[in-house]
Structure 1
Amino acid sequence: MRIAFVGESLIDFTAAGELAFQGHVGGAPTNSAVACARLGVPTGFVTQLSTDLFGERLLAYLQANGIDTRFVLRSDAPSTLAFVERTPTSNRYAFYTQGTADTRWAPAELPALPADCRWLQFGSISLLQEPAASRITQFVEAQRGRRLVLFDPNARPSLIPDLAAWRQRCTRWLAAADLVKMSDEDAQLLAPDRPLDEMAADCLRHGPKAVVITRGGEGATLFRPGAEPLALRPPPVRVADTIGAGDTFAAGLLVALLERGVDTAEALATLPADGWLAVLRFAGAAAALNCTGEGANPPQRAEVDALLMQASS
């Protein structure tokens, strides 16, 4: 296991017209874990799944994608469900999380990740429900000095009853992270009406070595202390659906960083600009390919390599 993810695993029901919905395995950490595994990196997942019919499918899906599930607990609580409706500019969500298995993840003893696990990613709606939010925070903070941590807020405003309290908690999550990846929508939620460069500078002051802010089809921008921002657009593709694009981008970041030997805080802080551009290029290509199909469906490694070769020719 080289990369681990902690957080929710749920069923996304995407609107197919009127009251018709098509079910897909989802949850931001789950999508990212599947993306990492398909990109060829040994990947593990930390969560709690229901024993109901949805939970059985979630577990089978993780295992079918080669994800290490030794740290997946089981519960008779129901599975988390999400309903997604596409809009011209974004996606509209309705979540059913009350008392669900993943939101009740609170083991008496925190998992002991293997020494060869060099990155841990956390974030998303798993940080919006107790007791999982507090226990995940403790788990992440326990990784300091053992492995690198990526924080992806991936927030859903409809699930945040107190924005001021959430913003305050974000300062703790930022302090626990070495790398932050967020969307421009996350940035606006954290600091409304502030320019992205100022928002990123605020994040960096909490301790992360780098912040990457994605802007959909406009690409992504990297911010680092004392360095000029680096921006890169993804290769053009025919977009069918953007669900899971950000999750796949985060996975691409981790895979590309790990392949460049970035598995310590020092290596992350000293990665040169050309190395970062290659990382952003890889992550952008992976995210773009995810958008060519319905639902979150991260690409295989060969597809990403082929798109990068095509884009460079």
Structure 2
Amino acid sequence: MRIALTGEALIDFTASEAGTLAFLGHEGGSPLNTAVACARLGQPTGFLTQLSTDLFGERLMGFLERNGVDTSFILRSNAPSTLAFVERTPQTNRYAFYTRGSADATWAPEPLPQLPAECRFLHFGSISLLQDPAATRIADLIAANAGRCVIVFDPNVRPSLIADMATYRTRASSWFAMADLVKLSDEDAELLAPGKPVEALAADCLAAGARAVIVTRGGDGATLWRTGHEALTVAAPRVKVVDTIGAGDTFTAGLSVSLLAHGVERPEQLNALGDEAWKEVMRFAATAAALNCTREGADPPTLEAVHAALAQEDNGAVASRF
């Protein structure tokens, strides 16, 4: 296991037609999507959570296993699975979550699991941080692996689940301080710091202790900030978008997979990575996310598909010069 993820696993029910109550179920949850994406992108990946023994939990376990994710750290419970209902709008997606007392929200391993020595990246974030006991045990797991693994934080803010946004923003500052790499969307940034320039929020994250901050802007690409460096921006590939669910999760997975390919295995190596290498990392992540958007639901691409898309883009760039 080179990459580990912890957090929720749920069933996304997406509205199939506007104005109806017809929904189509997909395995989901931000950490689960990212875990599957990491595995499809060729890195040994493990998932730390608790799944229900109900019919949805069985589907989630089977889905992880079919995608090559290590499930040996997953606990089981007779608590219900988390369910999420998603309605697409022209600009974004609206969510309704059913999480209280669910199996993943009550994850409380004792003692904490010991990650294998070869694990180099540990991801946390999303709605798993909104309920105890899971939120506290996740924080304990991150603290136990600080300095040994590259800690990746994706807030994946879901305002419909947050009763007190002011308190949430204060808590988010502590999560930023636990992370080496922070990835957030422009929507996350606006919810966390309304009216504040994105670069100012990135500076706050760096001041809290993060080594690198990346903000994604959908089809407008992504920007990286590091202390002592100019901001770096990469464009997003142009694709026919079918669905944006899972795009941000696939981008996050692409970052870790590509950073490993560039030899980053410890937190301090994020600082040593040069501009051109960072551009390659973000371009890889953006291409993986774009390919995910060409299919219904969260459906991350394989490593081969990303390499083929990058090669096609490079060939097109060369041809356009002549």
Q: Structure 2-normalised TM-score?
A: 0.96
Q: Is the 8 A contact 2:219 2:237 kept in 1?
A: no
SS of 1:226's equivalent in the other structure is coil
**Corresponding position of 1:280:** 282
Matched ranges for 1:1-313 at <5 A: 1-17=1-17, 18-313=20-315
Q: Partners in 1 of 2:5 and 2:144 — Cα distance?
A: 14
Q: After the TM superposition, which parts of structure 1 deviate over 2 Å for at least 4 consecutive aligned residues?
A: none
Q: Residue by residue, what CA displacement relative to the aligned partner does 1:137-195 show, whole Å, maximum 9, x if unpaired?
A: 11111111221100000010010111111111112111111000000111111111011
> One-letter code of the match for 1:235?
P
Q: Partners in 2 of 1:250 and 1:287 — Cα distance?
A: 9
Moved more, 45-54 or 104-113: 104-113
Q: Partners in 2 of 1:140 and 1:155 — Cα distance?
A: 19
Matched-pair identity in %: 63
> One-letter code of the match for 1:148?
V
Query: How many equivalent residue pairs?
Result: 313
Q: Partners in 2 of 1:237 and 1:302 — Cα distance?
A: 18
Q: Partners in 1 of 2:189 and 2:52 — Cα distance?
A: 32
**Corresponding position of 2:319:** none
Q: Is the 8 A contact 2:4 2:47 kept in 1?
A: yes
Shift of 1:266: 2.1
Q: Residue by residue, what CA displacement relative to the aligned partner does 1:229-284 show, whole Å, maximum 9, x if unpaired?
A: 10111211110000000000000000000111111122111100000000000000
Q: Residue by residue, what CA displacement relative to the aligned partner does 1:202-226 show, whole Å, maximum 9, x if unpaired?
A: 1100111100000011010000001
Over aligned residues, Cα RMSD in angstroms? 0.6
Q: Partners in 2 of 1:217 and 1:141 — Cα distance?
A: 34
Q: Partners in 1 of 2:148 and 2:264 — Cα distance?
A: 14
Q: Partners in 2 of 1:192 and 1:270 — Cα distance?
A: 32
SS of 2:21's equivalent in the other structure is coil
Q: Structure 1-normalised TM-score?
A: 0.99
Q: Residue by residue, what CA displacement relative to the aligned partner does 1:33-64 show, whole Å, maximum 9, x if unpaired?
A: 00000000000000000000000000000000
> One-letter code of the match for 1:51?
T
